[in-house]
Structure 1
Amino acid sequence: MTKKATLYRMETSNHICPFGLKSKDLLKRSGYSIEDQKLTTREETDNFKQQYQVETTPQVFIKDERIGGYDQLRDYLGKEPAGQQGMSYAPVIAIFAVSLLLSFVFTLSFTGFDGLSSFSISLLELFVALSMTILAIQKLQDLEQFSNSFITYDLLAMKAVRYAYIYPFLEAYAGIGMIANLPAYTVAPVSLFIGIVGAISVFKAVYIDKRKLKCACAGGNNKVPLGFISLTENLFMITAGVWMFIR
């Protein structure tokens, strides 16, 4: 027997509700035959809400029972809640993973398969530089949000708030400088400075003060917990600075 569902969703010339499309896709993948009722004007949408005493669309009906919106539909079908729930290292892990893959591909394009055994150092250098640069981009997307999180645990930013606005530019400069192979004395001090200050700040907040904070490492809008992976970003910068001087 075919499973049937009725979906009321907003689709006007100016707006297509994303959750309506997601609800439709989820129903289709779950084997439902869908009666797709589009609400094509604001007036039509408002009348629908008033009729069924609901505040939002889309609304899904199955067996003449109102299930609700997209989140309620997921729950009805036994699906996990959509999106990131609570704190997660996923944003930082994604950045590190993509940076590593890019480093491998870029290095391989210069050395070829014959150089696979000898490019480990250059691959590691590129990985650190790309990670720093991408993390800086995440911060630069919204400096205000980044600064709001950063000044809650960075020891220098607590004393000099403007440092929170400068930090992402310094991190981007250090990463780009490594990729561009700029002289060590122009890049290494920056990498060492922000890395050491950051590492001390994170270590104090997490391991001494035992504070449970959101890390600003992947931008202020991410829900990344302040912890070991956050500390890794700073250790990368310290290692990069030391290596540039040694090299």
Structure 2
Amino acid sequence: MDANTKPETRTADLYRMVMPEHVCPYGIKSKWLLETNGFAVNDHHLTDRAQTEAFMREHEVETTPQTFIDGRRIGGHDDLRAYFGKPVEREGDTSYRPVIAIFAVAALMGLAISWAAFGTVEPIRTAEWVIASAMILLGLQKLRDVEGFSTMFLNYDLLARRWVPYAYIYPFAETGAGLLMLAGALSWLSVPVAFVIGTVGAVSVFKAVYVERRELKCACVGGGSNVPLGFVSLTENLMMIAMAVWMAIRHVI
């Protein structure tokens, strides 16, 4: 091949819904994925429902978009990701990503608050603010769907199983305690609340996971979570206990 000759660009055929009332986001993602992997895309728009349904019948598929490379059907967006060797999340797969994101943001919030308050990172206060921020963010996830959280929580929490309203109170208690600790206000209220819910939670998780060896999803980031119950939820509860004990000590001192 001549040094000045460019390698031939491969071509892919993409069929995706582009309608006045709906442009398929997975079609947009598929087009971007193909182009960033060096493909020229023959972009075929399915512009109405009848055309889309006729395409799916013809190719015996149930969804769009659909990608074809060298005349061979690759499939939808997830199939295309797999074709390029990228990770694909399947329904039911467990993931720690939501919890990692929450704790990472909480850490950054603690650092930001310390910088705003002192112009530097004050280690002890920063640690307090990180934990309080994590409690607030975790509580917020539960508040997004209290009903879904309560259902998942009842799978393992010992107190909620004996008194169902506790499953509905918990998100408000965690968020409220976190806010009070962030503000350094009403320690007489935030400390016992955090200590009680943290202790009950830690005992419940330890019993379900490490004693009974049950494989459950954690309600720590709300209903519908794919986070496995275990170390993460136990850490959340131990963190609240530690914060409550520390705040009590500091209040006495």
Indicate the residue corresponding to 1:155 in structure 2: 158
Query: How far apart, CA to CA, are the structure 2 residues paired with 1:218 and 1:195?
Result: 15
Matches within 5 A, 1:1-247: 1-82=8-89, 86-113=93-120, 116=121, 119-247=122-250
Q: What's the RMSD between the two structures over aligned residues? A: 1.5
Alpha-carbon displacement from aligned partner over 1:67-97 (angstroms, at most 9, x marks no partner): 2211222222232214787222221122111
Query: How far apart, CA to CA, are the structure 1 residues paired with 2:185 and 2:159?
Result: 27
Q: TM-score, normalised by structure 1?
A: 0.94
Q: Residue 56 of structure 1: SS of its match in structure 2?
A: coil
Query: How far apart, CA to CA, are the structure 1 residues paired with 2:111 and 2:81?
Result: 38
Structure 1 runs, 4 residues or longer, greater than 4 Å off:
82-85
Q: TM-score, normalised by structure 2?
A: 0.91
- Alignment: residue pair count: 243
Give the gaps of 5 or more residues in structure 1. none
Alpha-carbon offset, residue 17 of structure 1: 0.9
Q: Percent identity?
A: 51
Query: How far apart, CA to CA, are the structure 2 residues paired with 1:245 and 1:73?
Result: 54
The one-letter code of the counterpart of 2:148 is Q
Give the gaps of 5 or more residues in structure 2. 1-7
Q: Residue 66 of structure 1: SS of its match in structure 2?
A: strand
